[in-house]
Chains A and B, each alone.
Chain A
Amino acid sequence: MRAIFLILVAAATLAIVSTVFGGGYAINIAIVVCIYVILASSLDIVMGWTGLFSFAHAAFLGIGAYTAAILGRDFGTTFWLNLPLGMIVAGLFGFLLGLPLLRAQGHFLAIMTIAFQTIVYLVLSQWTDFTGGQYGIEVEPVAGFTTLSSYFYLVLVIAVICLIAIRFLTQSRLGDALQAIRDDETLARTIGMNTKAVKLVALAISSAFAGGAGVLLAYHIRGVTPDDYTVLASASIVAMVVLGGRGRFWGPVLGAVLLTALPEMLSILTDYKHIFYGGVLILVTMFAPQGLAGKFSRWRAR
């Protein structure tokens, strides 16, 4: 309950800071921050809580975004239908990827996710008739939320709902099961857990949230192009989770806020964003493997 209160306080702070003190540029950043908070928190379900390293999260982001764009183009469906459908399609792909993926473990699993990520990128960029190739697809703004600030509030509310859902999920018995798999999968199986099914569910849920974030992103930049959904984008989300702290609710939130807002504020960094992310990733793994949230809770424990 305290966590939910803190989520609301953080959301209100973000709303006030970006609308009162900043103009359109600040609101733009705030929208991207919200989207990346959803992405990092949902990746943490598999990476932090279950212990499966995935470099394919941007692929699910892309699948959600393209689902919305293609449905809008071909069937004229609205945002309110595209959002759940984008989540369902991405979740389905997560489930399907999981079937071969979960036969592998550790590094091999991570490499397979990179392969999947690459395949998705290639399909998005090469299947021109369906995806628009490198030109992508245009997306009409959400009716009733055409101004930047109104769309920001919409994204903020959805991000808050996602965070609360993820909080409930990780505190539930499913959260215990995920941690058990991360701690000791053999033991989890011998106490009667169908660990493969639990991992599949975790991957599907995590992918569905990424798909939702993709729909939000598509409507924000009013279009989809394949270059937003590369393995570099996946690595950025991984960097956010690692910097913030794996398997802790506030870790990925913190990581997403820092790594999205900092490069924008220090405009020098913008061009070298991925180098910056890489550097952060190396430093964090060396000096704070539990992430910033891990460091904080250590200080508090003293």
Chain B
Amino acid sequence: MTGEQKNIAPIIRAEALTKNFQGMVALNAFDFSVNEGEIVGLIGPNGSGKSTVVNLLTGVLAPTSGRVLIDGKDFTGAAPHVVARHGVVRTFQMIRLFPSLTVERNIVLALQEQSGPGYMSSFLNRRNAMAWHEKAACKARDMLALFEMEKHAHKLATDLSIGQQRMVELARGLATNPRIFILDEPAAGLSPINVDRLIEMIRRMRDEFGVTILLVEHVMRVVQAVCDRVVVLDYGQKVADGKPDVVVQDPKVIEAYIGLGRSSHA
């Protein structure tokens, strides 16, 4: 309970979060929080429960027991779109963009669902809706420019490379001014050059835009380069929580990764 002693209220907080899948415990009494402006890494071997944590925090799954608090309010079991509208925004391990929409429309749609006028009010007040839409398109282009993707704005998302699609995903999330941006293995499938670019962009999102970030990652290079704090999961339990260089020395962490009689991990 080191971070929580301070007076800053955590943006997101899990209290004794537990998830069973048909008797198998995927996550067991997980306590954890992310404070404003932090970049927290969540690491652990395959099947340790990282994705379950993300799915519980974003409302994709409902916990078996325990609570999820966002800005101190209880969001346990809330629908994903409700959680998203409170600024908990995520990316996916397998890149997810709408293939039928252009890159720009992918971002505009996210802005619209987060903060745009409702369908009814935009139908009734067309001028207002169009002005809003114009602003959203501007914002989308600014974001794309930030990620050096502006020339792809009118392409279909599926016509881009994996690295470019990843940048669009980040641009989509950042555009909505998230309270907390959860990145689910953003380095997966990226070339070393793109990983460097990813590291730079994660830093800039926090330093220039003040975005709080929860980074779920396998690639230790990324974790060590950007994270202020690292939480380690093994078999659905938290085994460590601290500064990256301290955590990697922790014998429990080494055991989780190298393992005793368990297959090791890249």
Contact = CB atoms under 8 A, between A and B. Distances in A.
A173 B98 contact: no
Contacts of B19: none
Interface residues of A, number: 22
Among A184, A191, A195, A201, max chain B CB count under 10 A is at A191
A183 B98 CA distance: 6
A193 B113 contact: yes
B100 A191 contact: no
A73 interface: no
Given A173-B133, A183-B98, A192 B85 contact: yes
B81 A194 contact: yes
A190 B60 contact: yes
A179 B84 contact: no
A164 to B, nearest CB: 15
Interface stretch (B104-112, B204-212, B251-259): B104-112
A183 B114 contact: no
A104 interface: no
By secondary structure, the A interface counts as: helix
A253 interface: no
A194 B78 CA distance: 12
A177 interface: yes
B80 A189 contact: yes
Contacts of B85: 192
Contact of A201 (B81, B105, B119): B119
B90 interface: yes
Given A176-B101, A187-B98, 9 more contacts: A173-B116, A177-B112, A177-B113, A179-B101, A186-B80, A186-B96, A187-B96, A190-B58, A247-B100
8 contacts: A177-B112, A184-B96, A186-B96, A187-B92, A189-B60, A191-B172, A192-B176, A247-B100
